[in-house]
Amino acid sequence: MTRNWAGTHEYTAPRIVTASTVDEVQRVIAGGGPVHAMGTRHSFTDLPDTTGTLLDLAGLTGGFALDTEAGTVTVAAGTRYGVLALWLDERGYALHNLGSLPHISVGGATATATHGSGNTNGVLTSAVRGIRYVGADAQVHEVSQGEPDFDALAVGLGAFGVLVSLTLAVQPTYRARQDVYKEVSWDAALEQFDEITGAGYSVSVFTRWEPDLLGDVWVKTRLDADDDPVPDALLNGSRVIGANPLEGLPDLTELGGVPGPWLARLPHFRLEGKPSFGDEIQSEYFVARSDAPAALRAVRELAPQIQPVLFVSELRTAASDDLWLSGAYQRDFLAIHFTWHNDDAGVRAVLPLIEQALAPFGARPHWGKLHLFDADAMARVHPRLGDARAVFERLDPEGRFVNAHLERVGVR
């Protein structure tokens, strides 16, 4: 029995093979039959599943290749972001952003357009400068940014092959701090929402959709110097020190305004600790940042239905990109994230209400998290879905990498 990291989704593939080298990946694909890749098991759906061979790539880590002249690093697809970040920082380099969990793999996170936060920061895939994958012919192929098919393949969902390594843009290392602001009211936030999301390099809002107060605002400030000042107030809220803002989560990165390296401040959780609550389901939807106040008002109306099955929601932003299947394709977005209790029936009962409320805003679901979109619904919100599907079909005409999930959402 193989489940995702939270234990809330079971994969049904009849055969699971671990692969720690590119040769092993090639041998599995050359053997015939349906194949799909699985990384660090952070999907909450059957997106990584298959009726054939499920390739577990968690061991495909290998070495790193830093090109200081080009400003890039090449990394095996199974490498966890936290491991790569440690290696880069020791050499004086950094990534532009990290997700909330440093436990996720580079291959899986970029293939699903997973994101960090920040009005001017792109999703994690926006740092990709090249991909290397094993195709249906069991041969290794390389595609670089600017070449044909790159914008389709960068967020590729495993629909055309198995990623084995990626080249990412890097920059000089930097330091950051995290400060928590409380007592911001919903009224003030919705009136000046850009002031919330623009308050730092990366900003996360944790909310339980209470009637009056927004929740906790985590502001991650990129520092020129450790003694850079930060404001004591944010709208009608104030900076607080000392309390753990998310009860039951002991493995958070350091808060309270303590300066530290980027890799120990941008994620919410420590690499050596437990990611999130554990026994949970996650959903997430992306709307245009310009629609944020109206979209949030629509979701607030559903608070009585949401709260009984909710641990917490997180609100974050990201900058637009030109990657065809990215949630940020050609629009800056607000991400509305839900971390649910392990109550599949309860979650599935409330998701139609959320999706209906967000439909006027063209909400796009996170590819790796639980949603109820079908192919028609996906086509309405992803204008390049048909173009991406055509690329995947051309590269994999026999459907080696097709699975039920990709067919259900119209990707294959």
The domain that holds 188 is classified in CATH as 3.30.70.2520
Q: Are residues 157 and 224 in the same domain?
A: no
Q: Is residue 244 part of a domain?
A: yes
| The model's pTM | 0.95
Radius of gyration of the chain (CA): 20
The helix or strand, by DSSP H or E, that contains position 177, with its residue range, turns out to be: strand 175-185
pLDDT tier for residue 10 given thresholds of 50, 70 and 90: confident
Bridge-partner residues for 35, per DSSP? 53
Say how far apart CA 60 and CA 40 lie, in whole Å. 11
Task: Give residue-wise pLDDT tens across range 250-264.
Answer: 788 888 999 999 999
Number of domains in the chain: 2
Say how far apart CA 384 and CA 150 lie, in whole Å. 13
Alpha-carbon 244 to chain mean position:
24
- For 142-151, 163-172, 240-249, 395-404, which range has the lowest pLDDT when averaged over its residues? 240-249
Whether 178 contacts 100, CB under 8 Å? no
Q: How many residues does the chain have?
A: 412
Whether 186 contacts 206, CB under 8 Å? no
Query: What's the confidence (pLDDT) of residue 245?
Result: 64
Say how far apart CA 247 and CA 352 lie, in whole Å. 28
Say how far apart CA 110 and CA 275 lie, in whole Å. 19
Q: Are residues 131 and 212 in the same domain?
A: no
Query: What's the confidence (pLDDT) of residue 94?
Result: 98
| DSSP string for 272-307 | TS--SSSSEEEEEEEEEGGGHHHHHHHHHTTHHHHG
pLDDT tier for residue 247 given thresholds of 50, 70 and 90: low
Domain boundary residue among 350, 365, 380? 365
The mean pLDDT value of the chain amounts to 94
Q: Are residues 241 and 165 in the same domain?
A: no
Q: Is residue 264 part of a domain?
A: yes
- By percentage, how much of the chain surpasses pLDDT 70? 97
Question: What integer is the mean pLDDT of 325-347?
Answer: 97
Task: Give residue-wise pLDDT tens across range 352-389.
Answer: 999 999 999 999 999 999 999 999 999 999 999 999 99
| Sign of the alpha-carbon dihedral angle for 242, 245, 248, 249 | negative
Q: Are residues 169 and 181 in the same domain?
A: no
Q: Is residue 161 part of a domain?
A: yes
Whether 378 contacts 409, CB under 8 Å? yes
Which distant-in-sequence residues (6+ apart) come within 8 Å of 100 by Cβ? 116, 204, 267, 268, 269, 276, 314
The domain that holds 110 is classified in CATH as 3.30.465.10
Indicate if the pLDDT at residue 249 is higher than 80: no
Q: Are residues 201 and 322 in the same domain?
A: yes
Q: Are residues 192 and 329 in the same domain?
A: yes
Q: Is residue 80 part of a domain?
A: yes
DSSP, res 359:
G
Q: Are residues 122 and 191 in the same domain?
A: no
How far the first Cα of the chain sits from its last, in Å, is 27
Q: Are residues 114 and 218 in the same domain?
A: no
Say how far apart CA 42 and CA 399 lie, in whole Å. 24
Say how far apart CA 395 and CA 326 lie, in whole Å. 20
Task: Give residue-wise pLDDT tens across range 63-117.
Answer: 899 999 999 999 999 999 999 999 999 999 999 999 998 989 999 999 999 999 9
Q: Are residues 215 and 153 in the same domain?
A: no
Say how far apart CA 99 and CA 68 lie, in whole Å. 24
Domain boundary residue among 153, 173, 193? 173
Query: What's the confidence (pLDDT) of residue 345?
Result: 96
Q: Is residue 242 part of a domain?
A: yes
Q: Are residues 159 and 78 in the same domain?
A: yes
SS3 381: helix
Task: Give residue-wise pLDDT tens across range 130-164.
Answer: 999 999 999 999 999 999 999 999 999 999 999 99
Q: Are residues 328 and 241 in the same domain?
A: yes
Exposure string (b/e) for 256-271, b if CB count within 10 Å is 16 or more? eeebeebbbbbbbbbb
Domain that holds residue 209: 175-365
Q: Is residue 316 part of a domain?
A: yes
Q: Is residue 113 part of a domain?
A: yes
Question: What integer is the mean pLDDT of 305-311?
Answer: 97
- For 6-10, 217-221, 324-328, 385-389, which range has the lowest pLDDT when averaged over its residues? 6-10
Query: What's the confidence (pLDDT) of residue 279?
Result: 84
Domain boundary residue among 117, 152, 173? 173
Which residue shows structure tokens 């940014």? 145
Q: Is residue 109 part of a domain?
A: yes
Say how far apart CA 285 and CA 98 lie, in whole Å. 19
Q: Which pair of structure tokens corresponds to residue 284?
A: 């997430």
| Sign of the alpha-carbon dihedral angle for 342, 343, 344, 346 | negative
Q: Are residues 337 and 216 in the same domain?
A: yes
Query: What's the confidence (pLDDT) of residue 69?
Result: 97
